[in-house]
């Protein structure tokens, strides 16, 4: 394993017109880890990936990929860096295999070397049977798989995946997640951009959350979980008034009426268990208990909402960027 982090990006800024898309973004991702890049739509995740892949010029900041400093967008991205941003695109008049062959040639591989890698990659993404059909006839899911194959033929040590399970059926999504985990296990640094908290939580070791172009959290998923508030559940009982009475005065349990009937319970697992037992002892039947907002999801919403609120107040009070980042952290 290299002594360098796979990605060391510091102070990355990008402005389109008058809009700051990235504001002093730092990102460090390590070999052998899955690093989630999380944020709502329009947060700046894809722009950050474009900057890291040299597709978009940064206005400020420093980027090192696999130990190599990337000075400008006109440089060749280092060997071992691969990825695709947004919806994958190919030449529709070429077959899947011909597309991969073209990209493999651009990587400088000879013809026989390319064919071997293509066969392996197609097998990994489960596209072998359709490889000789024109890409124009592919579904969105097949294109997603082909994009993954195009990345794999570069034998990546740093792989960027931008919402890779979009357009995939559940089986395909599971295959992609398994592949990402396997690559990380083999030492590849995998950066997974997503707006799906559950996907990042289940796959990633570390996460960077971006909102409105600013990093609002960066660290281990375990650390994020520690900071997560209690989960919210929807509770339906035989007697909601009695359930409210049972809840009053209990530590760690917050109960309120849900708009559509039933009760919203905010509690951690232990407090929730104790409350449900107490309901039974009080003769209140529990008819349904379902997860409403997961704990990390609620933290994510809280972090992004705080950032948005912070931006609004910044507009009013002209607070400095420095003050803002302190407030967010």
Residues forming the site for another protein (CB under 8 A): 16, 47, 50, 53-57, 73-77, 79, 81-94, 98, 102-103, 105-108, 147, 150, 154
- Cβ proximity to another protein: between 75 and 241 the closer is 75
For residue 178, the minimal CB distance to another protein (Å) is 24
For residue 19, the minimal CB distance to another protein (Å) is 12
Per the rule left: phi > 0, alpha: psi between -120 and 50, beta: everything else, 32 is left
Helix axis angle, 140-152 to 111-125, nearest 10°: 130
For residue 190, the minimal CB distance to another protein (Å) is 16
Q: What is the C-alpha separation between 147 and 88, in angstroms, rounded?
A: 6
For residue 6, the minimal CB distance to another protein (Å) is 16
Task: Give the number of other Cβ atoms within 10 Å of residue 245's Cβ.
Answer: 13
What does residue 203 show for φ and ψ, rounded to 5 degrees?
A: -105, -35
99: closest CA among 147, 142, 159, 154?
A: 147
- Cβ proximity to another protein: between 95 and 237 the closer is 95
Tokens for 82, please give them: 């691969």
For residue 60, the minimal CB distance to another protein (Å) is 15
97 CB-side CA count, 13 A: 13
- Cβ proximity to another protein: between 90 and 217 the closer is 90
- Cβ proximity to another protein: between 34 and 77 the closer is 77
- Cβ proximity to another protein: between 38 and 147 the closer is 147
Task: Give the number of other Cβ atoms within 10 Å of residue 185's Cβ.
Answer: 10
């Amino acid at each position: 394993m290299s002594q360098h982090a796979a990605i060391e990006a510091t102070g990355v800024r990008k402005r389109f017109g008058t809009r700051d898309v990235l504001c002093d973004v730092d990102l460090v991702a390590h070999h052998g880890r899955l690093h989630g890049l999380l944020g709502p739509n329009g947060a700046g995740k894809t722009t950050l990936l474009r900057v890291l892949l040299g597709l978009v010029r940064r206005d400020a900041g420093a980027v090192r990929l696999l130990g190599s400093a990337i000075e400008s967008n006109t440089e060749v991205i280092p060997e071992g860096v691969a990825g695709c941003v947004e919806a994958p695109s190919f030449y529709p008049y070429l077959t899947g295999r011909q597309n991969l062959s073209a990209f493999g040639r651009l990587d400088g591989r000879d013809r026989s070397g390319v064919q071997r890698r293509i066969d392996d990659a197609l097998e990994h993404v489960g596209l072998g049977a359709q490889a000789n059909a024109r890409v124009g006839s592919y579904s969105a899911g097949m294109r997603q798989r082909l994009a993954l194959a195009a990345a794999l033929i570069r034998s990546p040590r740093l792989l960027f995946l931008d919402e890779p399970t979009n357009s995939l059926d559940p089986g395909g999504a599971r295959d992609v997640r398994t592949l990402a985990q396997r690559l990380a296990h083999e030492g590849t640094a995998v950066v997974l951009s997503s707006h799906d908290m559950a996907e990042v939580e289940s796959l990633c070791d570390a996460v960077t959350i971006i909102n409105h172009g600013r990093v609002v959290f960066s660290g281990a998923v375990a650390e994020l979980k520690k900071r997560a508030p209690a989960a919210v559940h929807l509770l339906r009982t035989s007697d909601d008034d009695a359930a409210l009475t049972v809840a009053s005065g209990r530590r760690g349990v917050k109960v309120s009426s849900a708009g559509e009937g039933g009760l919203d319970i905010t509690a951690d697992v232990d407090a929730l268990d104790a409350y449900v037992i107490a309901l039974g002892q009080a003769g209140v039947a529990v008819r349904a208990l379902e997860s409403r907002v997961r704990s990390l999801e609620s933290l994510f919403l809280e972090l992004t909402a705080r950032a948005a609120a912070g931006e609004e107040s910044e507009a009013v009070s002209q607070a400095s960027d420095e003050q803002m980042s302190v407030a967010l952290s």
